[in-house]
Amino acid sequence: MFKHLLFDKMYYLNFIIINTNQTIMKIATLIIRYLMGLIFFVFGLNGFLNFLPAPPMEGDLGTFMAGLMASGYFFPLLKGTEVVTGALLLAGRYIPLALAILGPITLNIFLVHAFMEPSGLPIAIFVFAGNLFLAWSYKENFKGLFSK
């Protein structure tokens, strides 16, 4: 009988710990998804409406950005993609698709700030790590991409 009671207590303790960890992960995933969605939605809209003034870009970053702007199509495409994927993250719809689209964008944001403009590195690290965290949280949806 004692063995049975001990097993029941251990089972309930494990159940509580597992449920608590799952709840914490769900809350963390939700918070990061909303923050990422808000960042991409707002900064994507800013590309069209210019309600947040951009700092002057000099040196390598200025040359890089001038080259992208000279193409004529790149920034509208990038900012439109950011608005759409940000809205998808905020709405909780097609999240794996939004994360797959944002993967190369967040990697480029991180690399640009790592090599050309270190002052923006903290937000770049958050955005890149946030995308990796969300991709890991939705890993079941990405299994098909990595199967033979």
Where do the structural domains in the chain lie, given as residue ranges? Answer: 20-143
Per-residue tens of pLDDT for the chain, all 148 residues:
445 555 555 555 565 666 777 888 899 999 999 999 999 999 999 999 999 998 888 889 999 999 999 999 999 999 999 999 999 999 999 999 999 999 999 999 999 999 999 999 999 999 999 999 999 999 999 988 888 8
pTM recorded for the entire structure: 0.84
Q: Which residues contact 39 (CB under 8 A, 6 or more apart)?
A: 86, 123, 127
Q: How many residues does the chain have?
A: 148
Structure token pair of residue 118: 């270190």
